[in-house]
Amino acid sequence: MQQRAIVPAVLSVLVLGILVVAVHTWQNAKHVLHPPRVAISAADRARAQAELPGVENVTLVTQDGLHLLGWFRAGPRRDALVLVHGLGNNRASLLDVAGMLASSGHGVLLYDSRASGESEGTVATWGDRERLDLEAAIDYALARPEVRPDRIGVYGFSVGATTAALVAATDRRVQAVVLGPTWTSLEDELRSKFGKWGPFSLLPARFAFQSEQIAIDKLRPVDVIVSIPPRPLFMLSGDRDTDTPPAIMRELQRLVPNVEYWVVAGAGHGRYEEVAPVEFRRRFCGFFDHVFPPLAAGAGHSGSM
């Protein structure tokens, strides 16, 4: 009799354990879909003025009606480099990068993605509806008289890199792309970050994302990165990145073997400009310097809108 009682007791414990794992995973997934906002501080605004003299506060409007706040600063190269931050951050996280680019004469546009910083929105969709955010930023840049239509570049970091890859693959207005660390697909990322207990943890995470109408099966940079070349493409990540290991980026690079991929020694998930400032300026800024060189005298309005 005692042996018979043990079996249902063990099954009860297993079922309870599965439920605990499922609920815990669901809650964690919901948290990353609604990350705490990182506010733009007074110090951030002061730094923006210092890094980008004459910077303007701008508002972008997406196709689905959200208002996104950002900063724009025109440059003598008459280009616009759109910088897309990562999950749970804001535009100020890319100020150092923007400052380096601006010091070389580039125009820069930084904005808070939906559900981030000062922008509207309640759900971070991991690159899905953020595509509308980037499209709105490109629309805005092209509406500026200081920007030539053949001089739009994009840099995306982390989830922002997923957004950048997906948009650049289909939007030919983008003439140059830099991708920071990004996963091959959202499915692969979910499996890595929520798959510890197999389907018992992976399925609740998928359900959480699907409950927010996120198109998991369509967020696949691995399927579209080949559509970016022959437009210039540059990739970078840190050799100590545990969020998006360099091996993941290598999988993407194998699809575009002639594209440079820089693994920043000593860097984790970002802040490359702090770890290797001289090399970052040479490689990252040099990439955009080469693609969008200074305009010859009298050529400033050639091809402008």
The answer to whether residues 22 and 129 belong to one domain is: no
Residue keyed to tokens 């994302």: 209
Instruction: State how far the Cα of 195 lies from the Cα of 202, in Å rounded to an integer.
Output: 5
Domain end (from 168, 203, 218)? 218
The answer to whether residues 205 and 251 belong to one domain is: no
pLDDT of residue 197: 87
**How high is the mean pLDDT of the chain?**
93
- 3-class SS at 93? helix
The answer to whether residues 99 and 192 belong to one domain is: no
The answer to whether residues 256 and 138 belong to one domain is: yes
DSSP percent split of the chain into helix, strand, coil, nearest 5: 45, 15, 40
The answer to whether the beta carbons of residues 28 and 194 sit under 8 Å apart is yes
In a domain, 299, yes or no: no
Nearest to 113 by CA among 99, 103, 124, 102: 124
The answer to whether residues 23 and 118 belong to one domain is: no
Q: How confident is the model at residue 236 (pLDDT cuts 50, 70, 90)?
A: very high
The answer to whether residues 9 and 141 belong to one domain is: no
Q: Has residue 16 got a pLDDT over 80?
A: no
- Can you tell me the mean pLDDT for 12-36? 80
Least confident of 9-18, 123-132, 139-148, 276-285: 9-18
In a domain, 298, yes or no: no
Q: How confident is the model at residue 2 (pLDDT cuts 50, 70, 90)?
A: low
Work out how many domains the chain is built from and give that number.
Answer: 2
Task: Kindly report, residue by residue over 37-67, the tens digit of the pLDDT.
Answer: 999 999 999 999 999 999 999 999 999 999 9
The answer to whether the beta carbons of residues 264 and 238 sit under 8 Å apart is yes
Q: Has residue 147 got a pLDDT over 50?
A: yes
The answer to whether residues 72 and 147 belong to one domain is: yes
Highest-scoring range by mean pLDDT, 103-112, 190-199, 292-301: 103-112
- 3-class SS at 84? strand
In a domain, 177, yes or no: yes
Q: Has residue 154 got a pLDDT over 60?
A: yes
pLDDT of residue 82: 99
The answer to whether residues 140 and 241 belong to one domain is: yes
In a domain, 51, yes or no: yes
- Can you tell me the mean pLDDT for 76-81? 98
Instruction: State how far the Cα of 152 lies from the Cα of 171, in Å rounded to an integer.
Output: 11
Residues whose CB falls within 8 Å of the CB of residue 72, separated by 6 or more in sequence, listed in order: 55, 56, 58, 80, 107, 108, 109, 110, 140, 141, 144
Q: Has residue 267 got a pLDDT over 70?
A: yes
End-to-end CA distance of the chain: 85
The answer to whether residues 115 and 205 belong to one domain is: no
Q: Would you tell me how many other CB atoms lie within 10 Å of the CB of residue 277?
A: 12
Residue keyed to tokens 């998930």: 269
The answer to whether residues 204 and 179 belong to one domain is: no
Domain end (from 218, 240, 271)? 218
> Which residue type occupies 223?
D
In a domain, 301, yes or no: no
| Residue-range definition of the domain harbouring residue 19 | 1-33+186-218
CATH classification of the domain holding 253: 3.40.50.1820
Q: Is pLDDT larger for residue 225 or for residue 1? A: 225
- 3-class SS at 58? strand
- Can you tell me the mean pLDDT for 286-296? 96
| DSSP H helices in the chain | 2-33, 42-51, 95-103, 130-143, 159-170, 186-194, 199-211, 221-224, 246-253, 272-275, 277-280, 286-291
The answer to whether residues 127 and 181 belong to one domain is: yes
Residue 104 dihedral angles phi and psi, to the nearest 5°: -95, 5
Q: Has residue 13 got a pLDDT over 80?
A: no
The answer to whether residues 122 and 175 belong to one domain is: yes
Give how far Cα 123 sits from Cα of 60, 114, 251, 276, Å. 17, 7, 29, 34
